[in-house]
Amino acid sequence: MELEDINTVAVLGAGNMGHGIAEVAALAGYDVTMRDIKEEFVQNGYDQIEWSLGKLAEKDQISEDAADDALDRISPLVDVEEAVGDADVVIEAVPEKMDIKKEVYGEVEEHAPDRAIFATNTSSLSVTELSEVTDRPEQFCGMHFFNPPVRMQLVEVISGAHSSEETLEVVEELAESMDKTPVRVHKDEPGFIVNRILVPLMNEAAWLVHEGESTVAEVDSTTKFGMGLPMGTFELGDQVGNDVSYHVLEYMHEVLGDAYEPCPLLAEKVDEGHLGKKTGNGFYDYEDGPGAEIP
Ligand code: 3HC
């Protein structure tokens, strides 16, 4: 497949990453189907895209027409067959659990055309293992966007053990056509590059607070004002979802060893359902905005 052959992109999952990827693909001019398992999930993702496009237009980053056109290109769907039946590329962004992703690929394989490339937005899981549940492992790779996709420049393009060079090149070109900068990840290891560095940072921050050494606000102040990162570590955790970073850590712990043991404070947040911005609370309370506690 060549880049010119790609017209329709199916995005599976309408959560934080899924709806953001659908928005980016639609802004790049692709016809997009965005699928989730429940009507309310799809509607929520669609509403967030509408909000985001409105913000971009309000700030003159895109025109009102471009925002309307992008929204028109997105079909929100629950039916898998309809979502992937005419897809040239399927980008999967369902929850970060191996068994859920494998189940989804089983379903998608049945309905997607033979020509379609499968790209997973997994944050850390084995691309090779996922590719092996499909009958097209050579047409399969990682395409990892960052949160929020519409604002973040990077896309990691991850080579699984079976990914063909042709697939990797087309997916890199696809990322460029979406105005992103692809970086090839040659080794299919937990966390790839970004999360291998970033998620342990979030975990260390959590250990500091858990052990009573520092407060959330103190740690976030040092991250922002000392390390020059755009957000505090906990602010960022709330942005990506505390469940997402926790699942990445669990997997890194399982595969890479004890240095990656998840801090109980993160487990607590997940158990309490305090997942971050998406649930209205996490390490911060979003009624007052994420910066409210930062001195
Ligand atoms: N669409 C449109 N507008 C958005 C938006 C979106 N998705 N998200 C935020 N905005 C808006 C806000 O509402 C705000 O609007 P306002 O000014 O009207 O209140 C505005 O953008 C804020 O923009 P600013 O330009 O003032 O803010 P920044 O320049 O600080 O940019 C940022 C915001 C790009 C999110 C920046 O804070 C940043 O880079 N943060 C770090 C994000 C990051 O590291 N992401 C990667 C996480 S790791 C990951 O995703 C991997 C996964 O696998 C775990």
Predicted local confidence at residue 287, as pLDDT: 74
| 61 contact partners, CB below 8 Å, separation of at least 6 | none
Kindly state if the Cβ of 125 falls inside 6 Å of ligand 1.
no
Our answer on whether the CB atom of 151 is closer than 6 Å to any ligand 1 atom is yes
For position 289, what pLDDT does the model report? 46
Among protein residues, the one whose CA lies closest to atom 12 of ligand 1: 55
- Tell me if domain 3-185 and domain 194-279 are identical in fold: no
Nearest CA to ligand 1 atom 25: 151
| Ligand 1 atom 39 nearest Cα | 230
pLDDT at 288: 55
What pLDDT does 295 receive? 28
Written as one letter, the residue type at 16 is N
Q: How far apart are the first and last CA of the chain?
A: 52
Count Cβ atoms below 10 Å from residue 157 Cβ, excluding itself: 24
Dist. CA 82–CA 77, nearest whole Å: 8
Q: Domains of the chain: which residue ranges? A: 3-185, 194-279
The neighbour count for residue 40, using CB atoms within 10 Å, is: 11
Domain 3-185: which topology? Rossmann fold (3.40.50)
Pairing of strands 117-120, 31-35: unpaired
Cβ(123) – ligand 1 distance below 6 Å:
yes
Measure the CA–CA gap between 114 and 217, rounded to whole angstroms.
Answer: 51
What is the predicted pLDDT for the residue at 291? 41
Q: Are 167 and 157 in contact, with CB atoms under 8 Å apart?
A: no
| Alpha carbons within 13 A on the beta-carbon side of 89 | 30
Q: What is the DSSP string of the chain?
A: --GGG--EEEEE--SHHHHHHHHHHHHTT-EEEEE-SSHHHHHHHHHHHHHHHHHHHHTTSS-HHHHHHHHHTEEEES-HHHHHTT-SEEEE---S-HHHHHHHHHHHHHHS-TT-EEEE--SSS-HHHHHTTSS-GGGEEEEE--SSTTT--EEEEE--TT--HHHHHHHHHHHHHTT-EEEEE-S--TTTTHHHHHHHHHHHHHHHHHTTSS-HHHHHHHHHHTS--SS-HHHHHHHH-HHHHHHHHHHHHHHH-GGGPPPHHHHHHHHHT--BGGGTBSSSBTTS-TTTT--
What are the Cα distances from residue 272, in Å, to 234, 239, 282, 283, 289? 16, 17, 9, 12, 20
Q: Which of 16, 52, 55, 196 is the pocket-test mutation for ligand 1 (most atoms within 8 Å of CB)?
A: 55
Q: Is 289 in the pocket of ligand 1 (CB under 6 A)?
A: no
How close is the Cα of 291 to the center of ligand 1, in Å? 13
**Dist. CA 147 → ligand 1 center (Å):** 8
This prediction has a pTM of 0.94
pLDDT value at position 290? 41
Paired residues of 77 in beta bridges: 35
Ligand 1 centre to CA of 151 (Å) is: 6
Q: What is the pLDDT along the chain (295 residues), one digit of tens a residue?
A: 999 999 999 999 999 999 999 999 999 999 999 999 999 999 999 999 999 999 999 999 999 999 999 999 999 999 999 999 999 999 999 998 899 999 999 999 999 999 999 999 999 999 999 999 999 999 999 999 999 999 999 999 999 999 999 999 999 999 999 999 999 999 999 999 999 999 999 999 999 999 998 999 999 999 999 999 999 999 999 999 999 999 999 999 999 999 999 999 999 999 999 999 999 999 999 975 444 443 2
Topology of the domain covering 194-279: N-(1-d-carboxylethyl)-l-norvaline Dehydrogenase; domain 2 (1.10.1040)
Q: What is the 221 CA–ligand 1 centroid distance (Å)?
A: 18
Closest residue CA from atom 48 of ligand 1: 146
Q: Is the interface score ipTM higher than 0.90?
A: yes
